[in-house]
Amino acid sequence: MQKNDSVARSLLFSMQTKLFFLIVLALGCIAVPLIIFTNQEVTRTIQDMERASLGNALGLVEENLSTKYLNMLMDKAGRMMEQRNRLRRAATRVSELWNILDDSRHFPPRQGGAASAAGFTDRRDLYAAIIDAMSSSDIAMHLYTLQGEMIHHTGSEVISLGQDGAVDFKGYSLRWIIDNLPQTGDFAVFVRPMRPESEKTDSSETLLVFFLPLPAKQLVLAAILPLTDIEREAGSALNGIIRTTRERLEKLRFYEQGFISIIHGEQAIIHRGNPAWAEAAMLPGEGMELARRQGIARLEMPVPGAIREKLRIQGEMIFNIAYFKALDWHIIAAAPKSEVEAPSLRLVKRQIALSVGVTLVILALTLLLAARLVRPLRLLTQKAGMLPRMDFSGGDIEAVFVKGLPIERKDEVGGLARSFSVMGQALARNIRELMETTAIKERIQGELDAARQIQMGILPQSHCAGNESDGRTMPPLAAMLEPAKEVGGDLYDFFHTSDGRLCLVIGDVSDKGVPAALFMSMTVTLVRYAMHSGLDPASAMSRINDTLSANNPESMFVTLFIALMDPDSGALEYANGGHCPPLILRNNGEDAVFRTLSQKSGPVVGGLGDKSYKLHKDMLEPGETCLLFTDGVTEAMNAVRELFGMERLTSVCKDFDISGRRDPEKLIAAVKAAIADFVGDEPQTDDITMLCFSRHTPQTAK
């Protein structure tokens, strides 16, 4: 008893210690990975959000510039379209007026390209007069020959489009434009250098020109309009974009050591943030070049030495650079990597502090709970130590197990105590039942073993050639029966009848186990009695069928084959009541010849009474072998539910017969080995029975 108390105290201390460390370990296994992975995920998420925020700031600036610049372009395009329409209308009016005057009846018909009209002696003079009359203050008009020679112009100053080397914005010369001019006219844009005496501050002026061919006149009219006002308005709009963008950036909250800049060339047009980055030389040239090629660039790089010393920035800078191709601007948003990651680091520190605090509180509560939980375990340990010494076959088990157990508790410990009490009682009851069941099973198994020995004793043993049975010489003959259970329903038999012929019997009862074994024993007895009465196989089968069916409450039946063979002549009489057709094989030179006794005499035996069976005859030639078998041979199944089948059976017999070995016992062994190899580890599902005999060859007869 003292030993049990010592063991209980040791277990109690071990339980408390292990429980505490188990909970600590469980908390650690849960909390530590949770903190690590959560912190990693939160850190990555926050950093991604900060980086995205930095990129969004860049995107907002870029989107604002794109929107305003697009509005400016649309306004400029509208003004350009209006000016284009003005030029087209002015040139068209000149062409229409000339056609009216030229075709008027007041002018004599054209003669050799010359005409007179209101004092004009040359058509060019008429064009010039019309151009002078139709020109306006801001639209100048030129008249060119098809060779690009200007023959007339209007306006206070001559605008020369045909100067050497002068091309439009597309790179086309005046002569090329005239040569490829469509009948409906076309537009071109030229840049004219300003004269030194001009008061304009710009060094050049943009001209919008509409060229219109004059039909059948060999002349081209050019309507010219300076775009100075449109460009001036576009410049004002661009300055407005810069101004509004600067005002918007002033309201933007940004990183303390970061900045947003718009760079044109080497000059910062707009700069918001740390002024130390305002110099273009401080910016990453490779990043700006990458943005120029790709449209946008994101990179991380160390802070230049000059900036690092001035601002005391450690680590790397994150640069987001976009290229605004329309204005050749670089938009740069940058911030120190440490400043971007700072929010996530603060969150991680707070999360670790909170996790540690919660873990300590849980551990304290766990200690209190563990102390209350393990106290009743000492008594349960003592009770468990009593189990090996108890006699469960009798005694008051309930008093032993219930006494002292905390079954009144409502928690899990009380449930465990009640379960422990029930377990003891159930254990005693189950042990008594197991002892009784084991005794019954051993008695049944003994009876089945005895039944198997009796059943196998009923069946005759195999005989080799020359052995005697009933005082007569037996031909080569072998038989085997392997039940699927302890006893089976297959049967075979062979014996000599009173007239000296050999009777061979094989059958298969419809059921398995003990009922089939009893039915089989009755069938064997009836066959012997009928055949010793001098009946032929068919008459004997009819008598056996009537006897079995007369008292058959379970409606059992048997497939039956009965044959009589004369050992000297080989004459064979047989009756087949629903059994597998026997297989006859013989060696014909190098090939094995097969045939079956496939004729049926009637239905299965014992199922229905008052049935007649037909007698069949055959001849067994010298050297021929007959194999009788039950369906357990051909219906043996492997792991994939495939049947052994007649084809495999005949293949085994063929190989055996070609080898020249005529011993029936060896043939049965070969078939049995082939079935075992085919089935493998699959359990046997049906009884396997074979009976094989041969007719004496002349050599054997000697």
> What pLDDT, in 10s, does the model give residues 159-172?
666 555 567 777 88
DSSP three-state, residue 248: helix
Which CATH number fits the domain that encloses residue 72? 3.30.450.20
CA separation, residue 564 to residues 16, 523, 570, 649 (Å): 86, 17, 10, 24
Q: Give the three-class secondary structure for 42.
A: helix
Judge whether 139 lies within some domain.
Answer: yes
Q: Is residue 8 part of a domain?
A: no
Structure tokens at 451: 């039944």
Q: How many domains are there within the chain?
A: 3
Q: What is the pLDDT of residue 466?
A: 44
Domain identity same for 240 and 158? yes
Compute the C-alpha angle 502/506/508, nearest 5°.
Answer: 165
pLDDT for the residue numbered 531: 92
Are 503 and 400 within one domain?
no
- Residue that is last in its domain, among 360, 393, 422: 360
653 inside domain: yes
- In terms of domains, do 249 and 295 share one? yes
pLDDT of residue 224: 86
pTM of the model: 0.44
Segments of the chain with pLDDT less than 50: 1-2, 7-8, 11-12, 105-121, 156, 197-202, 464-466, 658, 699-702
DSSP assignment, residue 486?
S
User: Residue 242 falls within a domain, yes or no?
Assistant: yes
293 and 402 fall within a common domain: no
* Residue 56 domain boundaries: 42-360
Backbone angles phi, psi at 198, to 5 degrees: -65, 145
Residues 420, 539 share a domain: no
The candidate with the shortest Cα–Cα distance to 178, out of 139, 214, 148, 152, is 148
Question: In this structure, are 415 and 485 located in the same domain?
Answer: no
pLDDT for res 420: 73
pLDDT value at residue 308: 64
Residue 470 has what pLDDT?
A: 56
Domain boundary among 326, 360, 394: 360
Co-location of 582 and 504 in the same domain: yes
Q: What is the model's pLDDT at position 702?
A: 37
Q: Which two tokens stand for residue 581?
A: 């057709």
- Please tell me the predicted confidence (pLDDT) of residue 557: 92
Looking at the domain assignment, is residue 167 inside a domain?
yes
Question: Which CATH number covers residue 626?
Answer: 3.60.40.10
First and final C-alpha spacing in the chain: 89
625-629 vs 583-588, strand pairing mode: antiparallel
Q: Residue 479 belongs to what H/E stretch?
A: strand 477-482
Backbone conformation region of residue 267, classed left if phi is above 0, alpha if psi is from -120 to 50, else beta: beta
Residue 443 lies in a domain: no
Residue 655 lies in a domain: yes
Residue 372 has what pLDDT?
65
328 SS3 class: coil
Residues 339 and 411 in one domain: no
| 18, 353 Cβ separation under 8 angstroms | no
162 and 297 co-located in one domain: yes
User: Which of 291, 325, 360 is where one domain is finished?
Assistant: 360
In a domain, 480, yes or no: yes
pLDDT at 677: 93
Sign of CA dihedral 66, 72, 74, 76: negative
Same domain, 353 and 390: no
Q: What is the 3-state secondary structure (H, E, C) of 582-603?
A: CEEEEEECCEEEEEECCCCCEC
**Judgement on whether residues 190 and 265 belong to the same structural domain of the protein:** yes
Do 672 and 549 belong together in one domain?
yes
pLDDT of 451 reads: 62
Structure confidence at residue 137 (pLDDT): 65
